[in-house]
Structure 1
Amino acid sequence: MLTSNSSGEVEIVGCKSEVTGEKCTVRFSLGIMIVVIGCNLVKACCMVMAVVRSREPTLVTLGDAVDSFLRTPDQTTIGMCFADRQYIERDWRRGWKAGPRQWKQKGLQRWWARGLGKINSGSLVGIHFRNITQAILLANLPQTILSFLYLTYNSLFTSMFLGHDWSLFSHHHRTLRVTSPRPGQRSTYWLQIPYTYAIPLMTLSGLLHWLTSQSLFLARVDIFDPFRGETFAPIVTMGYSCIAIVFVLALGGLALLAAAGIGYRKFAAETTTVSSCSAAISAACHASETNPDEIIGKEVRWGDVGIVPTLGVRHLTFSSEMGVRKPVFGEVYAGTQNDWK
């Protein structure tokens, strides 16, 4: 409220405000929407083409690789029965010849050697953007980072469970888990990770994405002129929520601790680390049985099978026989009969 004195000056002696109804509108960027729809369409077409055109057997799981190499042994890895990924990358790729080596594995290795989204005047970033597209891209930058972190986590857990599955073959007889199971085999997990881990991982990723969207978000403030009945001078900026940021940091820290704790678990048995290295897996799949069908559809175990007739030396390989034992520390394996002369 305004008053004027004798000198003609206007003084403010008070103010009056009233609560008005909200006017909600839906706004979007047509350019960004076209790009997103186009990328998803290309992705969907690629997936359909891969399913329709790919008719060859796939090597998706560890069991697929073992099944394939047991059926068709790789001649380039004969005599390398317990080559690990490090040996393949350091020595074998340089053309070094494989020969008899002592089993040095002693002891079990380990698996791994945000009121939310509310706009208020106190939580706006002091940056004004020229257009809404710039604000959208910056506000969603953390989502991109989270997506890459999820891919990293998924790769990490996949590698750990590959190592775990491999160690189980050294612990006891078990069937192969493959993409297209035959009699005597098991089907693979939908996400290549046990559901007890895959579902919490996906849930964690979804929750982090939602909390991040509530932590830093697009904020468009429209200033309404009640006298003219129109909106003018819109402000495009970003808002943030302190409580949501706290939740994101706490949940992210918990995820990091969980991964470290799971990675601290020990493998089921003393074994090599092959990860997803096809050459190392191939080296372990020169079975003592002459007929692959005698082993592929049965429970198999990887370990010391004694002297292999086709090689004439002691070897570590897969076998369905009950006489398979764990490798003996200090015992010499690998190589061929010519290498032992």
Structure 2
Amino acid sequence: NVADCLKAYGTAFQSSRGNLLLLSKNGPYQAATSAKFGISSGDISQPFDWICQRVDEVQSGQSTCDDSLLEIRRNIQEWEPFGSPVEECYSQRTDEHCQVLFSRTLCWIVTALNLLKSLLMLFVAFGGGVEKPILTIGDAVASFLEHNDESTTDMCLKGNEDFFVHNWFKEPIQFDLNPRRKSAAITSDTPQVIVSLLYFAYNSQHTTISLLTEWDRFGDNSRARGLRVSSAPRGAQRQTYFLQLPYRYSIPLICFSGSLHWLISQSLFLVNLEIYTPSNGNVSSLTACGWSPLGILCVLAVGILMIGFLVISARRRLRFGGIPVTGSCSAAISAACHPNKNEGAMWEKALQWGAVELSPLEGAPGHCSFSSHAVELPVHGQWYA
């Protein structure tokens, strides 16, 4: 019927139907069929503009045929594409043409690079020998407790900012539990995340946030915790996360990243058009970049959600805030790993960070470090080295 005819032919890309015959009982007829349809070659700028030939707004350029299709379907009895009411439609079904466009050269390049990446991953995972890698903050703490770094002794309250400005002087520091130590800040990579939403930059941000949170928990003097290490755990040590991040970060990150990649592929995509003659002969082809307004809106929505999730996560306050903020600065981590007495293989035990020694002399500095024994929260205004 006529409604099915409009539905089948009112589309930008026609792939399953060819010639169309419209039957009308009365009306002015012209001799040249090509003049009726406006077809003199295989190229048509608007494939279904003939449907709207009697719509004044379309002819005057005030709107497109796309905008008028819904109104035409509602008033199907009044549709007169060539000045005559259409009684019936006869459509020719055509075979759809399917192809797989394949670049053998690019395929071999991608395969070779993926194979190389797989070999490198296997080498990193199993080719390290007996050496213990330093992949997590727990690995770093265990390493510095086992092998003390003398260059950072008497610097127990120094954080990453002190070492970034090359402040390597060994001097007592007055403990000050200020707000700066109590909140995790969005680091300098955030503009890169906002601009590009790159997966690795976003992952880096949440790795930093997770690292700060895990480090801060060692400042809880009411509970000792085992180090989270990447090698085989010993004693009270714990295994690192399967995805290197806590599941509350890694699962949303994977979902958002996968959704974003898929939505981008649905927003901007390669389009290859092949135009066929009524006799099913190929006359020309066109390759262009297609885009979807709905897909782009969905990409923007997911991107805003990702940025919002990052900002909310980064603005979350640290729970304890007693231990100096070190980030991933190895010198600052080392400065916190100088116990005042031999505690054996303490890196395999549950640990806390806090004041482990107070000088009996008034005004003399105390000392803070990781310890497997009970520790105290550093005293506000007290000097420590």
- Assess same fold via TM > 0.5: yes
CA offset digits 1:268-326 (Å, max 9, x no partner): 21231111111110110001231331x223221101112489xx95111011222x122
Corresponding residue for 1:276? 328
Corresponding residue for 1:326? 377
Q: Does 1:220 align with 2:279?
A: no
Say if 1:106 and 1:329, in contact at 8 Å, map to a contact too: no
Say if 2:157 and 2:173, in contact at 8 Å, map to a contact too: no
- Give 1:264 deviation, angstroms: 1.1
Q: Does 1:38 align with 2:61?
A: no
Q: In 2 relative to 1, CA 10–82 (structure 1 residues): closer, same or farther, beyond 3 Å?
A: closer
Say if 2:175 and 2:379, in contact at 8 Å, map to a contact too: yes
- Give 1:230 deviation, angstroms: 2.8
Aligned letter for 1:242? P
Corresponding residue for 1:89? 164
Q: Does 1:57 align with 2:80?
A: no
Counterparts of 1:226 and 1:308, CA distance in 2: 98
Counterparts of 2:109 and 2:207, CA distance in 1: 31
User: Alignment identity in percent?
Assistant: 36
1:48 to 99, 114, 122: 122
Pairwise mapping of residues 80-119 of structure 1 onto structure 2 (< 5 A)?
80-92=155-167, 96-107=168-179, 109-113=182-186
Counterparts of 2:370 and 2:96, CA distance in 1: 71
1:314 to 333, 356, 366: 366
Counterparts of 2:271 and 2:359, CA distance in 1: 71
Unaligned stretches of 5+ in structure 2? 1-20, 22-28, 39-89, 187-194
Counterparts of 2:359 and 2:201, CA distance in 1: 41
Counterparts of 1:305 and 1:37, CA distance in 2: 56
What is the TM-score when the length of structure 2 is the normalising length? Answer: 0.70
1:151 to 194, 197, 200: 200
The DSSP-based 3-state class of the residue aligned with 2:370 is strand
CA offset digits 1:201-227 (Å, max 9, x no partner): 111100110011000001000111232
Aligned letter for 1:162? L
CA offset digits 1:91-150 (Å, max 9, x no partner): 24xxx422111112324522225xxxxxxxxxxxxxxxxxxxxxxxxxxxxxxx96x711
Aligned letter for 2:205? L
Which structure has the greater CA radius of gyration? 2
2:299 to 242, 245, 248: 248
- Give 1:51 deviation, angstroms: 3.1
CA offset digits 1:63-116 (Å, max 9, x no partner): 111111111111111111121111112124xxx422111112324522225xxx
Corresponding residue for 2:95? 21
Aligned letter for 2:335? A
Unaligned stretches of 5+ in structure 1? 114-144, 335-341
User: Greater relative contact order (Cα 8 A, min sep 6): structure 1 or 2?
Assistant: 1
Counterparts of 1:97 and 1:53, CA distance in 2: 39
The DSSP-based 3-state class of the residue aligned with 1:170 is coil
1:169 to 201, 218, 236: 218
Corresponding residue for 2:35? 12
What is the TM-score when the length of structure 1 is the normalising length? Answer: 0.78
- Give 1:252 deviation, angstroms: 0.5
Say if 2:365 and 2:382, in contact at 8 Å, map to a contact too: no
Moved more, 196-205 or 21-30: 21-30
The DSSP-based 3-state class of the residue aligned with 1:256 is helix
Pairwise mapping of residues 186-265 of structure 1 onto structure 2 (< 5 A)?
186-227=238-279, 229-265=280-316
Counterparts of 1:3 and 1:175, CA distance in 2: 90
Q: In 2 relative to 1, CA 105–221 (structure 1 residues): closer, same or farther, beyond 3 Å?
A: same
